[in-house]
Structure 1
Amino acid sequence: MGKDYGEPLHYDPDFNGPTHNRSCTDVLWLIIFILFLGGWGFVGYYSFTNGDVERLLAPIDSKGRRCGLDADVMNKKYLVFFDITKCLSPEAPITGCPTPQVCVSQCPDTTILFESVLTASSLDQLRARMVCSDDVNTQTMTLQQAQQYMQQEKCAKFVLQSQPVIGRCFINATEAVGSVLQNLTEAQVLEQFTNLVKFNQLSSQIVEDLVQSRWYLAGALVGVVVLCLVYIVLLRWVVAPVVWTSIVGLLALLGFSLYLCYRNYEYYLANPVSLIQTTNLKGYAQSIFASHRTWLALLVALAVLLVVLTLMVIFLRNRITIAIALIGEGSKAVSDIKSTMAFPLFPWLIQCVIIGYGVVVLVYLLSIGQSTFSVVNFANDTCNCNGKYTKDYESCDPVEFTANCHDSASPALPCRQATCHFTGIESPYSVTYMQIVNVVGFFWAMFFISGLSDMMLASTFSTWYWTFHKRDVPFFTLTKGIYRTMRYHMGTVAIGALIITIVRVIRVFLEYVDHKLKKFDNSFTRCVLCCCKCFFWCLENFLKFINKNAYIMCAVHGKGFCKSARDAFSLLMRNIIRVVVLDKVTDFIFFLSKLLISIGVGIGVFYLLQWSYIYEVTQGQRLHYNYVPAIILAVATYLITTIFFNVYAMAVDTLFLCFLEDCERNDGSVEKPYFMSKNLMKILGKKNKKPKAN
């Protein structure tokens, strides 16, 4: 192994940590990166000056006109759906709502069911309130014509009190539906309105719960941060008990979850619940979790996960002991250089700015071009277009579709489901190239900031490791690491980030191809795309691993990216057994710790919200759904712990590479003492010889 991957490092009496006399590395790539950022800035300027977000946000009626933007509907900014209940179907976000839609000057301010109240005496009063397509003259139509237009879906059978939301007239179903339900006679329409009310109530109750518990959530997030800090402090002093407690605690949580799933499975098996088909989100969720099969599936999945994790812990127990010592080293480094805990905030804020800029540029670029429409639901409908349109996904013109297409059984009626659906904006080729520049710029900048942060931390923690007496670590170690990286090695970070960016862009392109090939789906294409996506996912993770270690070597020795990557790879391959069983075990322990804290917080919050004493003290009302804030806090906790543990992971990775180099350079003699801690030397069976007394 040593011959294949170079000779082990030799003792260097002048080496005592990160090289001070170093020069700039990979300057050419830094220049290319800066020039590319300039081009990305130009793309942003072009998109802001030529794009119009309103073209994307503006609602489009059944004839393809943008409400408030196109000439003939300039004064009609809002969109009304003839039957908004049809928008509740799961396919609606993809195929559009299969109901006529017209632009209006204002949303309806009252709820009226025209079929029930429309008479000759009331026609004059209702003409101004009726919502009809443009080819209907409501001012001159007769009662018979009004009824005929409603049957032909040229006029809405009812309007609901609503308010504009992003140009669409949406209702407060809880308030508006009361007067409507009294006059409804059709069971199907009644069921649709009932589903609409339940969906509205569900969303309203969830929002109400979040508003009511917002301060509790904010306090809980502060508590999560404190919990992470306490956990880190515990790792500093009692690392072994904390790690083993975390592992056992996670296994216990999984066992408890297994018990709960078994109880629910046993209950619903003995007490089956009749499942009702519904389009309501809440009803669908209830029907899923009221089935014993669902709990059986969860039971099996959790059982497999518990067995796998338990076996991994048993077989890796000896290596976990060594990994614990390495984590102990990392906790000492983080505790001695406390500023590293707050450091990730700054790159995180910069990345938030990059995300915002990239998304805004993307939206503006998408708004440049001509609107396109295609036929949807044609194959599932008895729709006759006189040969003009014959299949789904054909390009269409909304006005021509409305004029030529009608229901085969009732020619006076429009098609029941088939529509000419707005599919997007067709942009010129130049905009397509700009979108590619935006995607590449977004990923390159994100990976650059991430790599810059990693190298700054690597420079900091490597200085800590190679300081023989840790009490002599300079106070401004992090500041020096930041300066050293910014001054000499931004080009190295730029080329490393570019390599990851290329692979990530390929993965995004594969996802795009997969999406486009859905309509030509077959086993062969699925297999090929799955293999390609899996390969590039593995390649990206491997390159990220190489990049991180190359940054560490560059931070220590000040060499360029290629030389640093080669040296890091050779060092790791010469110690491949330790890499697999130590470095990866520490990653596994960090993952278990994050899961423990996140799941523990989620379960704790859920049961805490069921405790009556909490509401007695706070004088607050009980929440409708305790699991909503519990899930939100569990996810937020995982993200927060990830930010904290990323610092730990970088510390451990840096110290691990330094530890490998320490083992090769030194032998524990008086002339070549080990720099590792006494605890780590004890576990590995190594020790430094004491100088002989004179």
Structure 2
Amino acid sequence: YNHLLHVLSFCASYHYFKCVLFGLSAWLYGDPRHVLYPRNSTGWFCGIGPNNFLYNLSLVSPLSGLLIAMLVSMLFLLLLRFTAPVMVWVLIVGVLGAGAYGIWHCYWEYDRYKNDAASITDIGFTTNFNVYLQVQETWLAFLIIISVVEAILLLTLIFLRTRILIAISLIQESSKAIGYMMSSLLYPLVTFVLVLVCVAYWGATALVVALNSTMNDACRNISGTEDCDPQNFTSSSYPGCPSASCIFIKYNDEGLFQRNLFNLQIYNAVAFLWCVNFVIALGQCTLAGAFASYYWAFTKPDDIPMFPVTGSFIRTLRYHVGSLAFGSLILTLVQIVRIILEYIDHKTKDAQNAVARFILCCLKCCFWCLEKFIKFLNRNAYIMIAIYGKNFCVSAKNAFSLLMRNVIRVVVLDKVTDLLLFFGKLLVVGGVGVLSFFFFSGRILLPGSTFHSETLNYYWMPIITVVFGSYLIAHGFFSVYNMCVDTLFLCFLEDLERNDGSLQKPYFMSKNLMKILNKSNKAPKGGKK
């Protein structure tokens, strides 16, 4: 109360009412002294005394968390050459061990309810699932299902062990390639900047088209009912409205441009999709060319060209722009069809015709699968373009034929790579997210840090920012790694089919891959093998 009277004593008579309200608000929601010495949003004084909010804000900045995410992602990719075999086999043994435990537990439950007289036929149908868990037949069914799945996994592991070893070796080789081409990890920034340019151009164009659909403010003083002679009319009589014209009793809103505003917006949207797909294709072809130069270097790293990423980028812009544009156009057309189907589904979602809804759902599913297939085909076609320099159609045909001749290897490599990258993203995003939570919530303090969690109004906001940014960083790094694995895999298949290890056609694959496949290069006479 004394503090409130002290505050009110400083008020002029004509500000009495405002000061009363301000003083009461300070009394109710915080320390009344904040009226005289207010604080900013971080809790630091912005009245009397020095203001160091920028210094303290830099400590709270989530940039340090994003830097940690970048370093962890880079270390994870570089260490895969050592940890990939351990991670893959630990996961495989873990899955088999979980299946074995499930078999044992189901048998134990089956033996436990063996003497009970209840059966599935006695219970019938019920929504209480716990009732079924007290019946012997339920655990017998679980036991049979898990045993069959476990047997299939064991047989698959036995028959695919060589292909799993090849996939692990290619993953290790990809880690080595990235180690020799660290600049490739920065290329997603180029793609990101180019996509931002496409978005900015699309937004500016759409805005210009939308603004041109309305009347100019300088033309609003024209009533549209004045008499004029179309033969002798000149717009110079209206200097504020150069677009004025003499027509029949109305402002000229029916010209060629105005009649096609919707078509222009559609054209702009299609161009935007095409440009974005082209930018992504440019990045894929550039990285494929760089990693292909690593594989086809007979003596690594001596035969790897200098600045492989830059050289591949220049080659792509010089020779392969047309092929990339054609592949991007095919993908864009499929995406347009999907957008149209989504629009129709949105407009007819309240329709009662079940047949029409079913057909529309089937079409959406089919075109979704088609888009995924075209993305997969384009990706491998760009790799073949980067290797051989042929046009899109020939490269797509050759890539598809090569993959179909090795379809089992494709599936195994794809699943093993997806598994490793999934756990990599989980490690980066989860680890950085947990670390940022403990830091911003004040549960851990860095040595010498003056940061206090009480200075944040809402500490979940920087945590969400760090987690989202960490996911984007991990996705960018791992997309480069995934492209490296796919490129080296296609190069490996080409190497296996075109070469035989002779002096004229030596293998370019690593010694580890040759050891797995029992291959070797013939040594020249008098030389070492």
Give the alignment's TM-score, normalised by structure 2: 0.64
CA distance in 2 between counterparts of 1:479 and 1:621 reads 45
Deviation at 1:585, TM superposition (A): 2.8
Native 8 Å contact 1:608 1:614 kept in 2:
yes
CA deviation profile, 1:9-42 (whole Å, cap 9, x unmatched):
xxxxxxxxxxxxxxxxxxxxxxxxxxxxxxxxxx
Q: One-letter code of the match for 1:645?
A: F
1:358 to 202, 205, 223: 202
Native 8 Å contact 2:440 2:462 kept in 1:
no
Counterpart of 2:507?
Answer: 674
Counterpart of 2:228?
Answer: none
Counterpart of 1:541?
Answer: 372
Is 2:187 the counterpart of 1:343? yes
CA distance in 2 between counterparts of 1:368 and 1:335 reads 52
Counterpart of 1:229?
Answer: 74
1:217 to 62, 69, 93: 62
Question: Relative to 1, partners in 2 of residues 1:546 and 1:461: Cα closer, same or farther, differing over 3 Å?
Answer: same
Instruction: Classify the secondary structure of the residue corresponding to 2:348.
Output: helix
Question: Relative to 1, partners in 2 of residues 1:517 and 1:683: Cα closer, same or farther, differing over 3 Å?
Answer: same
CA deviation profile, 1:209-247 (whole Å, cap 9, x unmatched):
xx9688431111111112222222212454434666799
CA distance in 1 between counterparts of 2:201 and 2:89 reads 43
Q: Please, which moves more after superposition, 667-676 or 361-370? A: 361-370
CA distance in 2 between counterparts of 1:449 and 1:432 reads 26
Counterpart of 1:453?
Answer: 283
Deviation at 1:468, TM superposition (A): 0.9
1:442 to 262, 272, 294: 272
CA distance in 2 between counterparts of 1:455 and 1:313 reads 36
Question: Relative to 1, partners in 2 of residues 1:364 and 1:592: Cα closer, same or farther, differing over 3 Å?
Answer: farther
Counterpart of 2:407?
Answer: 576
CA distance in 2 between counterparts of 1:241 and 1:506 reads 45
CA deviation profile, 1:425-481 (whole Å, cap 9, x unmatched):
xx9651111111111110111111111121122122112111111122121322322
Is 2:500 the counterpart of 1:655? no
Q: One-letter code of the match for 1:620?
A: H
Instruction: Classify the secondary structure of the residue corresponding to 2:313.
Output: helix
Structure label with greater radius of gyration: 2
Deviation at 1:367, TM superposition (A): 5.3
Report how many aligned residue pairs link the two structures.
Answer: 381
Deviation at 1:556, TM superposition (A): 1.4
Deviation at 1:508, TM superposition (A): 1.5
Native 8 Å contact 1:448 1:493 kept in 2:
yes
Matches within 5 A, 1:465-614: 465-470=295-300, 471-520=302-351, 523-614=354-445
CA distance in 2 between counterparts of 1:570 and 1:477 reads 28
CA distance in 1 between counterparts of 2:440 and 2:92 reads 27
Question: Relative to 1, partners in 2 of residues 1:635 and 1:666: Cα closer, same or farther, differing over 3 Å?
Answer: same
Deviation at 1:663, TM superposition (A): 0.8
CA distance in 2 between counterparts of 1:450 and 1:443 reads 11
CA distance in 2 between counterparts of 1:328 and 1:561 reads 30
CA deviation profile, 1:507-539 (whole Å, cap 9, x unmatched):
112222222223436544443332222211111
Deviation at 1:333, TM superposition (A): 1.4
Instruction: Classify the secondary structure of the residue corresponding to 2:349.
Output: helix
Deviation at 1:501, TM superposition (A): 0.6
Counterpart of 2:85?
Answer: 240
Native 8 Å contact 1:247 1:592 kept in 2:
no
CA deviation profile, 1:20-69 (whole Å, cap 9, x unmatched):
xxxxxxxxxxxxxxxxxxxxxxxxxxxxxxxxxxxxxxxxxxxxxxxxxx
Native 8 Å contact 1:583 1:656 kept in 2:
no
CA distance in 1 between counterparts of 2:357 and 2:62 reads 43
Native 8 Å contact 1:247 1:593 kept in 2:
no
Question: Relative to 1, partners in 2 of residues 1:473 and 1:670: Cα closer, same or farther, differing over 3 Å?
Answer: same
Deviation at 1:504, TM superposition (A): 0.9
Q: One-letter code of the match for 1:566?
A: K
2:452 to 612, 617, 620: 620
Is 2:294 the counterpart of 1:464? yes
Native 8 Å contact 2:183 2:309 kept in 1:
yes
Q: One-letter code of the match for 1:678?
A: K
Question: Relative to 1, partners in 2 of residues 1:447 and 1:553: Cα closer, same or farther, differing over 3 Å?
Answer: same
Native 8 Å contact 1:549 1:565 kept in 2:
yes
Native 8 Å contact 1:601 1:634 kept in 2:
yes
Matches within 5 A, 1:88-237: 215-237=60-82
Unaligned runs of 5+ in 1: 1-160, 162-173, 182-203, 206-210, 251-306, 372-426
Deviation at 1:495, TM superposition (A): 0.2
Deviation at 1:688, TM superposition (A): 2.7
Instruction: Classify the secondary structure of the residue corresponding to 2:506.
Output: coil
CA deviation profile, 1:474-495 (whole Å, cap 9, x unmatched):
2132232222211111100110
Native 8 Å contact 1:234 1:242 kept in 2:
no
Deviation at 1:248, TM superposition (A): 9.9
CA distance in 1 between counterparts of 2:178 and 2:153 reads 26
CA distance in 1 between counterparts of 2:388 and 2:258 reads 49
Larger strand proportion, structure 1 or 2?
1
Matches within 5 A, 1:176-325: 215-241=60-86, 318=161, 319-325=163-169
Question: Relative to 1, partners in 2 of residues 1:598 and 1:523: Cα closer, same or farther, differing over 3 Å?
Answer: farther
Native 8 Å contact 1:666 1:672 kept in 2:
yes
Counterpart of 1:633?
Answer: 466
Instruction: Classify the secondary structure of the residue corresponding to 1:687.
Output: coil
Superposition RMSD in Å: 3.7
Counterpart of 2:49?
Answer: none
Q: One-letter code of the match for 1:666?
A: N
Native 8 Å contact 1:246 1:593 kept in 2:
no
Instruction: Classify the secondary structure of the residue corresponding to 2:453.
Output: coil
Native 8 Å contact 1:236 1:335 kept in 2:
no
Deviation at 1:672, TM superposition (A): 2.8
Q: One-letter code of the match for 1:563?
A: V
Matches within 5 A, 1:399-438: 429-438=259-268
Counterpart of 2:111?
Answer: none
Native 8 Å contact 1:504 1:540 kept in 2:
yes
Larger helix proportion, structure 1 or 2?
2
Q: One-letter code of the match for 1:445?
A: C
Q: One-letter code of the match for 1:335?
A: G
CA deviation profile, 1:600-638 (whole Å, cap 9, x unmatched):
322332244445342894342335655443333222211
Question: Relative to 1, partners in 2 of residues 1:460 and 1:571: Cα closer, same or farther, differing over 3 Å?
Answer: same
Native 8 Å contact 1:444 1:497 kept in 2:
yes
Native 8 Å contact 2:88 2:420 kept in 1:
yes
Matches within 5 A, 1:18-97: none
CA distance in 1 between counterparts of 2:322 and 2:271 reads 16
Matches within 5 A, 1:358-397: 358-366=202-210
Give the alignment's TM-score, normalised by structure 1: 0.49
Native 8 Å contact 1:439 1:505 kept in 2:
no
Question: Relative to 1, partners in 2 of residues 1:526 and 1:626: Cα closer, same or farther, differing over 3 Å?
Answer: farther
Deviation at 1:340, TM superposition (A): 1.5
CA distance in 2 between counterparts of 1:619 and 1:341 reads 33
Deviation at 1:685, TM superposition (A): 3.3
